[in-house]
Amino acid sequence: MLLFYLSSGLFLGWSLGANDAANVFGTAVGSGMVRFKTAAIIASVFVILGAVISGAGASHTLGKLGAVNALGGSFMVALAAGYTVYVMTKFELPVSTSQAIVGAIVGWNFFSGYVTDYKVLSKIVSTWVICPLLSAFFAAVLYMILRVFFNNVKIHILRIDSFTRTGLILVGAFGSYSLGANNIANVMGVFVPSVPFREFHLGPISLSGPQQLFLIGGIAISVGIFTYSYKVMKTVGGELLKLSPQAALVVVLAESLVLFVFASQSLSDFVKSLGLPPIPLVPVSSSQAVVGAIIGIGLVRGWRNIRFNVMGKIAAGWVATPLAACLVSFIGLFILQNVFGMTVVKRAIYKVDSGFVLLMKSEGLNVDLSEFEGEEFNNFRDLYKNVFSVVKDNQKAMLITSLCAEINLEINDSRIDNLFMKGVITSKERKKLLKLAGKNFKYKYQLVVELCRIENCNLHNFKELEKISKEADVFLKFFN
């Protein structure tokens, strides 16, 4: 059944390879500088490397948008996104798997009663605007630099072609790595909360559960590149704007830089260390990046060269993709649950008990939930609305609501040792869990309080509380 559930993620990976991954080498193949077979091999290898080595950052943001908590739900969300991308690919449109998976997750939120974090959603949507603009800027600057260079340096045309071909291959490899690092979250991100893969060791190589998912997804992307990406390469590489080989090199480099910027944890941390806002680590669209780069070059050449009818067709696909994926996801979840009897959402009861009311009133938190004391809610959204009316803060309301979930968790030595022997938890996690052995937790907040006591953290600070709440979610995943 696990393989069956993952099949939709593999289908989405194939769709991404057929559509988005083609953009890395689309201009190179479209300009005739690199053969399709060569491009496909290089893209496949580096997509897998990027997914496994650097794929975790962007997946966390998707998890914040909506933590799909059942394998049936993950299956349908990935299937809805994959089907939407497949349909758009049939029309030879370079659409965004990022937009498709976001739309599908929002569809799951509507169906499950989970509240969509609009702060996270707005962060993701803002990158859909920033991505093509930033790519257009990079491409315009790089193209002008390259044009000045070739106008002032006399190089034989054959040598220029050789340099350009080598540059396209090197930059394409970098772009493929960046694509795997950034977009693997679209393919396998929804499965991370619900698939408890054990840590895998093979000599000096160690792969965590998410990394194993990302490896599987990376292989699916590479299959999509080989089997179905050539048509989209034609649209990107030749129909929007006729490109010279040098312009094709600029497009791939500009797109690769944009994907890398939104996938690099180290770059985001460096920017933050300078006192600047950190770069959001979100899965952005390679399709939008490459189209933005082509338009940037077109504007430098003169806007009359751009085929606006093709650009309008592509833009329409970008708007339709998240809306269609959201609708398909919602309808598909309804059918799976009510026709096939599959579990697509792990339902939870939320109750504001007296202990939690006292915790929220404590010094530093100062949140009065006494008017809801003793009330029971059947889904996240109903309690969230009441909590939000008190705190007037979306992030705090979502955190407080999650802490009221009934978990009915019993932790004992044998279960902990069993998880450790199977490789599900590390020795460090085992040591921490053993301190909780013999205890029962009816509500999530009780587990959070106990974890906070073990780690000597400040429970009266919402940021600390949020951090421990995430750790509690990890432990709950082990025991569910």
Statement: residue 444 has pLDDT above 90: yes
Statement: residue 423 has pLDDT above 70: no
The tens digit of pLDDT for each residue in 186-206 reads 888 788 766 656 666 666 777
Q: Decide if 96 contacts 320 (C-beta within 8 A).
A: no
Q: Decide if 17 contacts 225 (C-beta within 8 A).
A: yes
Cα separation, 13 vs 418, in Å, equals 33
Residues contacting 439, CB < 8 A, separation 6+: 410, 411, 450
Cα separation, 104 vs 79, in Å, equals 9
Task: Scan for tokens 């509380």, then name that residue.
Answer: 465
- For the ranges 65-79, 102-116, 459-473, the maximum mean pLDDT occurs at 102-116
pLDDT band at 327 (very low <50, low <70, confident <90, very high): very high
Residue percentage of the chain with pLDDT more than 90: 22
Give the mean model confidence (pLDDT) for residues 309-325: 82
Cα separation, 230 vs 240, in Å, equals 16
The pLDDT value recorded for residue 338 is 93
Residue 201 bridge partners (DSSP): 206
The pLDDT value recorded for residue 235 is 62
Q: Decide if 112 contacts 73 (C-beta within 8 A).
A: yes
Instruction: Compute φ and ψ for 442, nearest 5 degrees.
Output: -80, -35
DSSP 289-314: HHHHHHHHHHHHH-GGGS-HHHHHHH
Give the mean model confidence (pLDDT) for residues 435-464: 88
The pLDDT value recorded for residue 467 is 86
Residue 350 bridge partners (DSSP): 377, 405
The pLDDT value recorded for residue 19 is 73
Give the predicted TM-score (pTM) of the model. 0.79
Give the mean model confidence (pLDDT) for residues 145-170: 84
Task: Count CB-CB contacts under 10 A for residue 219.
Answer: 17
- For the ranges 146-150, 198-202, 360-364, the maximum mean pLDDT occurs at 146-150
Tallying the residues shown for the chain, one arrives at 480
The tens digit of pLDDT for each residue in 213-244 reads 888 999 999 998 888 777 766 665 555 556 77
Q: Token pair for residue 276? A: 């600047």
Q: Decide if 218 contacts 181 (C-beta within 8 A).
A: no
Residue 410 bridge partners (DSSP): 440
Statement: residue 58 has pLDDT above 80: no
Statement: residue 457 has pLDDT above 60: yes
The tens digit of pLDDT for each residue in 233-288 reads 666 555 555 677 788 788 888 988 998 888 777 888 888 888 888 887 787 877 78
Statement: residue 424 has pLDDT above 70: no
Statement: residue 18 has pLDDT above 70: yes
Is pLDDT larger for residue 443 or for residue 457? Answer: 443
Q: Taking the C-alpha atoms of 43, 45, 46 and 51 in order, what is their torsion angle to the nearest 10 degrees? A: 110
The pLDDT value recorded for residue 442 is 94
Q: Where are the domains of the chain?
A: 2-338, 350-479
> How much is the mean pLDDT over the chain?
83
Cα separation, 71 vs 160, in Å, equals 52
